[in-house]
Structure 1
Amino acid sequence: MAEAYPTPLAGQRLTASLLRSMQVQCLRKTSDTSRSATTTQAADPHLQMDVVAGGVYTVWGWLKYDALAAADITIGFSYPTGGLGEWVGAGAGTTVTSATGGGGTQQDAVSTWGYNVRLESTDVTATRTYGGLGVGNTLTIAMNATFRIGSNAGTLALTWAQASSSATATTVYTDSWLNVLRVA
């Protein structure tokens, strides 16, 4: 059975608030965020929103980042206590392995031949680390998730940090985005 939230009833007054609650909320980075010398997960200042107790949300999005191969990037989510769910990010593995024109492979090198991709399902309580190729060599992560919020309202946020501390900053770039839709 398809889910939709809210379900308008015959004769119900349509308000701006009701109509907005039916729309996809787009969280878009309006500026770059750089972090250096830290492995402590912190909420991205742009990729977060308030969620209601008992709500179910689907999330999909795209992150553009760069990181040193020695630092990488670790991604996760923060959410209200008691929440459940799963997420996946399709992005480069921690050792960025790319193809060569001759059919071989190479590690941590920029390549026009493509990269291996991480695709594990991840519980909302866990993080995943994705590879870096160095400053100026951007990579992306395509993300999908479902979050079931428990009995506490609060903030749902993408969190991230360097996987290994480095004085050279890891950056998540402007126009990275998450779409969030309440489905129940």
Structure 2
Amino acid sequence: MPVPDGVATVTVTSGEPLTRPDGTAIRGRLLFGAPDLVVIPGARYTFGGEVAVDLVDGMVTVDLVPPDVATMDPQGWTYTVRSDFENAPNWTRHILLSGASDTVTLAEVLVPDPVAGEFTVLVDPSTIGAGFVSVDGNQTIHGEKTFDEFYPVGPGFPPAFDNQLVPLFWVRDNFLPATGDVVGRTRAVHKTADEQVTSATALQDDDHLALTVAANAVYALDMYVDADADPNADITLGWSAPAGATMSWTEGGISAGNGNNIGSIKLSRLDVATSSGIGLLATGTAAMPRGVVRTGGTAGTLRLRWAQTVLSGTPTILRAGSWLRLHRIV
């Protein structure tokens, strides 16, 4: 069935025959793929999928509907071109057609290298919003450009992202090293040696459990405390943070004075300026504090501070292997 009258088409040809380096005509076919479903309401026409065109003496010709037809939904997409050759390596590339041209050759519209060169990204970044992209003309990307929440990609990326702007978190998760203080990344630090406090109830900075925090950021916090002490001394936990930072955190440990690691678990809601004591045993006790950290306009360091709750000549020891972890949310 032909394309209905009134719907524009563009004739795509090979121009000269497709050949191997010695001039031997390539045998096989080319497959031109459109989106699964495209509608042109004004013409009451629906199409989609892939069309296979056989090569004849290396030549190919096909009439295709360009993606810029008025009232078409969606608009601005590219055709995928796949080869199915009998005597040459296969490839997959993309072509962009426009109704402004009646006839084009593959050499004019095919991107031969999916990495080098200039690429046409079929969105206007200013129209990005609410989780989807509105197409309002084409944007040619010269070299590398980035946008606040999206990144342009072209041929060579997963098919779902070809010639689109993809979320930056997808680029980070797939192409950036899993390091650094960026949204979506988790950083952690652990104690490399035991640390002890004796006969001291004033909070002191932990030697190891500290991580830098950025300005105007939000972090999820959790940690594992491995400690032992005189059960009459217990341990008090607290924090230091940059100016303007706020916290909502909880102790996640047994109540002070507990004698067997079995009993009430403290889950108070505490702020950055409030410390709290939890119980410890001489045989060892674990606690799992957690919370959320919100920084203001000042970057700096978030650090655990601790001391004995009750003075004791028996050391309160925070053991090596205890750890602190921050996951950046904003």
What band does the TM-score fall into relative to the shorter chain? 0.7 to 0.9
For the pair shown, the structure with the greater C-alpha radius of gyration is: 2
Pair 1:143 & 2:277 matched? no
1:65 matched to 2:227? The reply is: yes
- Counterpart residue number, 1:84: 246
Higher relative contact order (CA 8 A, sep 6+): 1
1:102-181 equivalence runs, <5 A: 108=259, 110=260, 114-134=262-282, 137-181=283-327
- Tell me the equivalent position of 2:128: none
Larger mean CA deviation between 71-80 and 8-17 belongs to 8-17
Structure 1 counterpart of 2:212, from 37, 40, 50: 50
Aligned-pair Cα RMSD in Å: 2.2
CA distance in 2, matches of 1:18, 1:175: 22
Structure-2 change in CA distance of 1:63 and 1:19 (3 Å):
closer
What is the alpha-carbon distance in structure 2 between the residues aligned to residue 133 and residue 24 of structure 1? 31
Q: What is the Cα deviation at residue 145 of structure 1?
A: 1.0
2:190 is matched with 28
Q: Which amino acid aligns with 1:78?
A: S
CA separation of 1:9/1:18 partners in 2, compared to 1, >3 Å: closer, same or farther? farther
How does the TM-score come out when normalised to structure 2? 0.46
Residue in structure 1 matching 2:256, options 71, 94, 118: 94
Task: Give the TM-score normalised by structure 1.
Answer: 0.79
Distance (whole Å) between structure 2 residues aligned to residue 171 and residue 19 of structure 1: 31
- Residues 142-175 of structure 1, C-alpha deviation per residue, up to 9 Å, x if partnerless? 1211011112111101111111222211011111
Residues paired across the two proteins, number: 162
Alignment correspondent of 1:102: none
Match of 1:9 among 142, 150, 154: 150
Structure 1 alignment gaps of length 5 or more: 1-6, 97-107
Q: What residue ranges of structure 2 are gaps of 5+ in the alignment?
A: 1-147, 153-167
The one-letter amino acid paired with 2:279 is: G
Q: After the TM superposition, which parts of structure 1 deviate over 4 Å for at least 4 consecutive aligned residues?
A: 12-19
Give the superposition deviation at 1:74.
0.1
Task: Give the CA deviation at 1:84.
Answer: 1.0
Please identify, of 116-125 and 139-148, the stretch whose mean Cα deviation from structure 2 is larger. Answer: 116-125
Quote the offset at 1:44 in angstroms. 1.1
Note if contact 2:225-2:323 (Cα within 8 Å) is conserved in structure 1.
Answer: yes
What displacement does 1:66 show?
A: 0.8
